[in-house]
Amino acid sequence: MTMVCRRARVRVTGTVQGVGFRPYVYRLAGELSLDGFVLNDVHGVLIEVEGSAPVVDRFLERLPSEAPPLAVLEQVLVEERAPSGTIGFAIRASIAGAVPDAPVTPDTATCDDCLRELFDPSDRRFRYPFINCTNCGPRFTVVRGVPYDRPLTTMASFTMCAACRAEYEDPTDRRFHAQPNACPACGPSVRLLGGLEPAPEPVDPIAATATALAGGAIVAIKGIGGYHLACRAGDERAVAALRARKHREDKPFALMAPSLSVAASLVSLGAPARAPLTGPARPIVLAPRRPDAPIAESVAPGAPELGVMLPYSPLHHLLLADAGETLVMTSANVSDEPIAYDDRDALERLRGIADLFLVHDRPIQTRTDDSVVRVVAAPAHPRTAFLRRSRGYVPAALALPGAGTRRPLLACGAELKNTFCLARGPRAWISHHIGDLENYETLRSFVEGIEHFGALFAVEPEVIAHDLHPEYLSTKYALERDGVELIGVQHHHAHLAACLAEHGEAGPAVGAIFDGTGYGLDGTVWGGELLLGDVRTFRRAGSLLPVALPGGASAIRQPWRMACSWLSAAVGGGEPDLPASLAGRVDPRAWAQVHRLATGSTAAAPATTSMGRLFDAVAAVAGIRAEVNYEGQAAIELEAAADPGERGSYPIAVGGAPLVIDPRETIRAVAADIRAGRSASVIARRFHRTIARATVEACTTLAAAHGTEVVVLSGGVFQSRLLLESVWDGLRRAGLRVLVPERLPVNDGGIAYGQAAVAAARLI
């Protein structure tokens, strides 16, 4: 009997490097007694296998289905080769090339195998807070350059001991080429610093930290992408002290629960929310707070949702196991500064906040905040929505539509919640969360981040896309770069294009883009926009009725100013009465002044169509918020107040060409409800229902008029779950197809990718 011999060459693309793919192939080939080789090259992984035809078939069948957990296979191409009679199977040296496609993967939560060892007293890494393997551990946050190899990571100064080196070099070991591989004998270590008196250094700094936390201490803890500030979540005194020292008046603190079951006692967790909570990226998951959640009042005053995460580094696992209860784990910064990640800087900046410091000597290369997601109940199926996409997801690439970009490009993003984006060919790399670009510190991490990403992904931008706002630091940065082609992209078009592009849709579509602020084509402040467009171009098909933004930026901090502006527009003629709900909170003279400003058409009161500011105005009239401590607070609290049982709504006008959503009647009705003594929760719900109805009507009208059935919903206002879900449902009932951002935030964190998509489309 003759056996048919076959040799197949297999080209695998996707996220297949640094994820244990070669050892996996080696094991699979060994198990099936196939000959050949596997290697990494610039395109991904190249395999050749030789053996009897049915066995090669079996190999090809099993290859994608049994791939390691972190591998993402985009394509598996098989080509026949002439059998060569090779004996044995080898992992061959990587073929270096000029253009690496997927060299760096996101940081990944400790895997189950490592966890077993971490808590096994007989293991040599028992309680070692830096245990990791090919399937887990730090990646993006420790990478200094490419190729992704130990000397170009922040592990460079630690020399592997013989035992670690043997694992690292053994293709059958799950630590084969795990760059951060380490053990207590050769790797980084933790120390507990600070305290009232110079105490001898504790034998087990993590156990000592847990004891200090139990005693009410606030501890700064160095993690994967930066420092956290921690205290017991159930200790009102400690949480209130943390809040006072951090000057973070109302913003909710994130929590880290020791286990899924404890997390489920804090928030209601459906199956869709459990997936990200326990997945490899381990974001903070926002979910509805349980009324009996055993946490201090000061953790999240007035917030209907709590942000909960599970331990994601071995250090966290040890600490939470020792503490045995939920901890506050909030980004270590003062107020609006970026999160601390550099050791000396952290010790200096956090001295007045933390009582103790749990530090370690593995440097963090790139400051990377925790990601934040929540589950949105879409009519078809629940989906994850990002509020912040950072640690655990960055730097995974997103595809650009069509053939991608013809020339390498950089998109600079917006001002608030900034991210930038580099793109080459079909791929776009969106940065970690940079933050609000309004101080030197964040600007510096923006500029350094661009250089770092450029080196990692071999992108030398020839084209730079930017926002149209001349005062954004990101725009100024773009305009100052020499020798590049500049492409200005309107803010709300970038929101629309980002959503179309991530769904691989070309458009055209109707876009309802509602946010706080964006520079309009006419130089006014846009923010309640009805666009008609595709990835390349757009036109403004309608908007919210423009009103004055009295005092510019101070109108954002003081929603009562927008209440005055909208009431002035709604009642017409003279000064509107100060609503009873604002009496005692707003000085009547200031009210009169703002009324004059709002009706005077001066540069101090530019026109705005901002939907975010309309929500602010109604929150103020309803008596919920006269002033805010952070952007979006009024809208969040308005949504939280809404009475789910209320079925009423207000009149609102939708019509004209271009189409205008005119809520002046709505505002008059809200004021009448206040005079009638109706509660804020009834008003809040009626208002949300009104805006949802108007949005559905506006979108269906435009879709019918322009022969499209696709509607994009985006912009920061759609962070309101109540608004998003009801608009979505209404549009679906009207027979339209709804697209919302799923892989990037609905807020300005998605702008850079949208700018990149627009620029790429215009370069064709």
Q: Nearer Cβ to Zn ion, position 114 or 152?
A: 114
Out of 183, 318, 434, 443, which residue is the one contacting Zn ion (CB under 5 A)?
Answer: 183
Out of 186, 447, 484, 763, which residue is the one contacting Zn ion (CB under 5 A)?
Answer: 186
Is the distance from CB of 54 to CB of 32 less than 8 angstroms?
no
Please identify, among the stretches 469-477, 584-592, 598-606, 740-748, the one whose residues bind Zn ion according to the rule CB under 5 A: 740-748
Q: Considering the complex, what minimum distance in angstroms separates the CB of residue 134 from Zn ion?
A: 7
CA 472 vs CA 111, 478, 566, 746: distances in Å: 41, 10, 27, 20
Q: Nearer Cβ to Zn ion, position 232 or 469?
A: 469
Other Cβ atoms less than 10 A from the Cβ of 161: the count is 14
Q: Read off φ and ψ for residue 384, nearest 5 degrees.
A: -80, 135
Q: Nearer Cβ to Zn ion, position 147 or 184?
A: 184
> Would you say the C-alpha torsion 741, 747, 749, 753 has a positive or negative sign?
positive
Q: Nearer Cβ to Zn ion, position 402 or 606?
A: 606
Q: Nearer Cβ to Zn ion, position 414 or 652?
A: 414
Q: Rounded to an integer, what is the distance from CA 562 to the centroid of its chain? A: 29
Collect all residues with Cβ–Cβ distance below 8 Å to 134 and sequence separation of at least 6: 18, 19, 20, 23, 68, 174, 175, 176, 177, 178
Q: Considering the complex, what minimum distance in angstroms separates the CB of residue 584 from Zn ion?
A: 34
Order across the sheet with 463-467: list the strands: 397-399, 427-430, 421-425, 405-411, 463-467, 485-489
Binding to Zn ion, residues 597-626 (CB under 5 A):
none
3-state secondary structure 522-569: CCCEEEEEEEEECCCCEEEEEEECCEECCCCHHHHHCHHHHHHHHHHH
The reply on whether position 416 binds Zn ion by CB under 5 A is no
Please identify, among the stretches 164-172, 261-269, 603-611, 680-688, the one whose residues bind Zn ion according to the rule CB under 5 A: 164-172
Residue with tokens 């400790």: 110
Helices marked H in 676-750: 680-706, 721-733
# chain residues binding Zn ion, by CB under 5 A: 12
Q: Nearer Cβ to Zn ion, position 164 or 758?
A: 164
Helices marked H in 376-488: 440-456, 473-480
The reply on whether position 178 binds Zn ion by CB under 5 A is no
Q: Considering the complex, what minimum distance in angstroms separates the CB of residue 753 from Zn ion?
A: 13
The reply on whether position 136 binds Zn ion by CB under 5 A is yes
Other Cβ atoms less than 10 A from the Cβ of 682: the count is 17
Q: Read off φ and ψ for residue 448, nearest 5 degrees.
A: -65, -40
Query: 363: cis peptide before it, omega within 30°?
Result: no
Q: Nearer Cβ to Zn ion, position 161 or 682?
A: 161
Q: Nearer Cβ to Zn ion, position 159 or 554?
A: 159
Distance CA 608, CA 430 (A): 30
Distance CA 577, CA 583 (A): 10
Q: Considering the complex, what minimum distance in angstroms separates the CB of residue 498 from Zn ion?
A: 10
The reply on whether position 515 binds Zn ion by CB under 5 A is yes
Q: Considering the complex, what minimum distance in angstroms separates the CB of residue 320 from Zn ion?
A: 18
Q: Nearer Cβ to Zn ion, position 73 or 161?
A: 161
Q: Considering the complex, what minimum distance in angstroms separates the CB of residue 241 from Zn ion?
A: 36
N-term to C-term CA, the chain: 58
Q: Considering the complex, what minimum distance in angstroms separates the CB of residue 64 from Zn ion?
A: 22
Q: Considering the complex, what minimum distance in angstroms separates the CB of residue 182 from Zn ion?
A: 6
Please identify, among the stretches 7-15, 91-99, 176-184, 394-402, the one whose residues bind Zn ion according to the rule CB under 5 A: 176-184
The reply on whether position 752 binds Zn ion by CB under 5 A is no
* 710 beta partners: 737
Please identify, among the stretches 134-142, 377-385, 475-483, 693-701, the one whose residues bind Zn ion according to the rule CB under 5 A: 134-142
Distance CA 544, CA 615 (A): 12
The reply on whether position 748 binds Zn ion by CB under 5 A is yes
The reply on whether position 161 binds Zn ion by CB under 5 A is yes
Q: Considering the complex, what minimum distance in angstroms separates the CB of residue 187 from Zn ion?
A: 6
Closest C-alpha among 169, 142, 173, 512 to residue 362: 142
Judged by DSSP in three states, 143 sits in: strand
Q: Considering the complex, what minimum distance in angstroms separates the CB of residue 164 from Zn ion?
A: 3
Q: Nearer Cβ to Zn ion, position 51 or 188?
A: 188
Q: Nearer Cβ to Zn ion, position 183 or 758?
A: 183
CA 179 vs CA 46, 279, 282, 474, 734: distances in Å: 21, 22, 21, 34, 53
Q: Nearer Cβ to Zn ion, position 533 or 623?
A: 533
Count the helix, strand and coil residues of the chain and give each as a percent rounded to the nearest 5: 35, 25, 45
Beta strands 710-714 and 737-739: pairing type? parallel
Please identify, among the stretches 156-164, 300-308, 471-479, 565-573, the one whose residues bind Zn ion according to the rule CB under 5 A: 156-164
Please identify, among the stretches 57-65, 509-517, 552-560, 730-738, the one whose residues bind Zn ion according to the rule CB under 5 A: 509-517
Distance CA 105, CA 120 (A): 28
Please identify, among the stretches 233-241, 508-516, 588-596, 728-736, the one whose residues bind Zn ion according to the rule CB under 5 A: 508-516
Q: Nearer Cβ to Zn ion, position 69 or 83?
A: 69
Q: Read off φ and ψ for residue 543, nearest 5 degrees.
A: -165, 175
Q: Nearer Cβ to Zn ion, position 183 or 578?
A: 183
The reply on whether position 235 binds Zn ion by CB under 5 A is no
DSSP-derived letter for residue 339 is: P
Q: Considering the complex, what minimum distance in angstroms separates the CB of residue 180 from Zn ion?
A: 10
Binding to Zn ion, residues 87-126 (CB under 5 A):
111, 114
Q: Considering the complex, what minimum distance in angstroms separates the CB of residue 53 from Zn ion?
A: 36
The reply on whether position 746 binds Zn ion by CB under 5 A is no
* 723 beta partners: none
Q: Nearer Cβ to Zn ion, position 111 or 364?
A: 111
Closest C-alpha among 443, 454, 391, 401 to residue 418: 443
The reply on whether position 185 binds Zn ion by CB under 5 A is yes
Q: Considering the complex, what minimum distance in angstroms separates the CB of residue 226 from Zn ion?
A: 22
Q: Nearer Cβ to Zn ion, position 404 or 527?
A: 527
Q: Considering the complex, what minimum distance in angstroms separates the CB of residue 416 from Zn ion?
A: 8
Beta strands 284-288 and 372-376: pairing type? parallel
Q: Nearer Cβ to Zn ion, position 53 or 163?
A: 163
Q: Considering the complex, what minimum distance in angstroms separates the CB of residue 110 from Zn ion?
A: 6
Out of 34, 70, 102, 133, which residue is the one contacting Zn ion (CB under 5 A)?
Answer: 133
Q: Nearer Cβ to Zn ion, position 135 or 405?
A: 135
Please identify, among the stretches 162-170, 233-241, 260-268, 396-404, the one whose residues bind Zn ion according to the rule CB under 5 A: 162-170
Please identify, among the stretches 54-62, 129-137, 307-315, 466-474, the one whose residues bind Zn ion according to the rule CB under 5 A: 129-137
Q: Considering the complex, what minimum distance in angstroms separates the CB of residue 387 from Zn ion?
A: 13
* 659 beta partners: 542
* Residues 710, 704, 378: CA angle, nearest 5 degrees: 35
Q: Read off φ and ψ for residue 356, nearest 5 degrees.
A: -140, 160
Distance CA 254, CA 285 (A): 9
Q: Considering the complex, what minimum distance in angstroms separates the CB of residue 179 from Zn ion?
A: 13
Closest C-alpha among 75, 85, 65 to residue 6: 85
The reply on whether position 529 binds Zn ion by CB under 5 A is no
Q: Considering the complex, what minimum distance in angstroms separates the CB of residue 189 from Zn ion?
A: 12
Closest C-alpha among 188, 141, 469 to residue 315: 188
* Site residues for Zn ion per CB under 5 A: 111, 114, 133, 135-136, 161, 164, 183, 185-186, 515, 748
